[in-house]
Structure 1
Amino acid sequence: MTAVPHALPTTDATIDDVSAPLTLEDFVARARARLLAVPDLTGEPPRGDHELTPEFRVLVDALPVRGAAVLVPVIARPEPTVLLTLRASHLANHAGQISFPGGKIDPQDDGPLGAALREAEEEVGLSRHLVRPLGYLDAYLSRTGFRIVPVVAIVEPDFALTLNPGEVDEAFEVPLDFLMRPGNHVRETREWLGMMRTFHAMTFEKRRIWGITAGILRALYERVYTP
């Protein structure tokens, strides 16, 4: 993809960058009140790559829709963080990109929650016994035809990870407050397959979070942090 010189800040923020960050307790209370208690598995996905690039919807509608789930793991530290992964550089799809633990929902999974917990165990060795689900975000429709259900959860901080080198090169944490600051959110536009693609992005230190992962983080901000 060929970069367009300008990255535009997201302008529809309702919380400014000088407001105090939510404590872990406040975040949990808001999340429990505002997240979906039951995942939406069949309705029209309100979120997705098509939000900022409407042309994608025609392409997606021609594909079979496949169910997937990701875990949005908020680590219960005094200053909460979000656990993210760097996908293995040798993968055929999305190699070297920052993502949440997750993948396709298999028939044996107990829905999106079961899939998210299983994938987190398989990818980074995160024990499901340390994960406390809070609720679900709206389904996110990817340009590749995956209907992704994000599972937001609190993770106890005394975990130990074992990375699967076939899927993940690295796991790291980013402060939740940084990711939820609208001043850190931008919209970037690039050329992709002859069309202009616009997507959410945010950069922490030298780590560039963009595409689906940034879109889901933006959805978390809009549901939990805005009035």
Structure 2
Amino acid sequence: MNEPMLKTEPAAISSVEFFDRARARLHFDVPPGLFDPNIVPPSGDAGTDRMLEILAREQPIRPAAVLIPVVDHPQPTVLLTQRSAHLNDHAGQISFPGGKIDATDATPLDAALREALEEVGLTREFIDPVGYLDLYGTSFGFRILPTVARVRPGFKLRINEAEVDDAFEVPLAFLMNPDNHQVHSKEFRGIVRSYYAMPFAERYIWGATAGILRVLYERIYLP
């Protein structure tokens, strides 16, 4: 495992340009693969794609939504959570606010906003949704639809200790710096697949969270 890197060079684009690009490149069309097991979301990694194809045949998919809360400080940050250690799924891992889409949620956006309120007390008055990022599949059968959002500073968090142990902010410039995107591999039934990790200080950001952040970088920062 590589040692954590703490490079925080300024991002190549400004905060204003980040949100302008996000609004131009993202939308609120719900991808059919969120609910259709026959449509496997591509990951860009052949091993992961093969794993997702196998899982889609073997078990029900689990539609989920998360919020990517980009806090509009002079140097923007991303609000992340550390999940409670006793949870059944992804215990103790670094995550975005979010969870499974309930039947009562009108849209994936509503699910993400509801979960952000339930988990950390982030109220809607501070949130300006920008658009959906690409659908992301996981080894647990989740189909995650992330919502990128501009978050106005000044909010007060209220941590739900039944679900979250902590909430913290990481500089967007760090997370969007490809020098900080470590690539690792693991095996799934003899298939080697790759995954991202972005260690930051004592926080180990990896798996779906790091993968979604990498997708954000590719969609917003690359031409």
Q: TM-score range by the shorter chain?
A: 0.7 to 0.9
Partner of residue 147 from structure 1, selected from 140, 143, 148: 143
Partner of residue 221 from structure 2, selected from 202, 219, 225: 225
Normalising by structure 1, we get a TM-score of: 0.86
* 1:160 alignment partner in structure 2: 156
SS at 1:204 equivalent: coil
Structure with greater strand percent: 1
Q: Which runs of 4+ in 1 moved over 2 A?
A: 17-22, 41-55, 190-198
The question of 1:25 aligning with 2:16 is answered yes
- Aligned identity (percent) is 52
Structure with greater helix percent: 2
SS at 2:89 equivalent: coil
Gaps of 5+ in 1: 8-16
Structure-to-structure mapping, 1:46-195, within 5 angstroms: 46-48=41-43, 52-57=47-52, 58-191=54-187
1:89 and 1:131 mapped to 2: Cα distance? 28
Normalising by structure 2, we get a TM-score of: 0.87
Gaps of 5+ in 2: none
2:210 and 2:166 mapped to 1: Cα distance? 18
- Residue by residue over 1:6-36, the C-alpha shift from the partner in whole angstroms, topping out at 9 and shown as x without a partner, is 79xxxxxxxxx97754222111100001113
Query: What is the RMSD of the two structures over their aligned residues, measured on CA atoms?
Result: 2.3
- Compute the displacement of 1:37 (Å): 3.4
1:51 and 1:88 mapped to 2: Cα distance? 32
Number of corresponding residues: 214
Contact 1:136 1:149 in 2 (8 A): yes
Distance 1:51 1:170, change over 3 A: farther
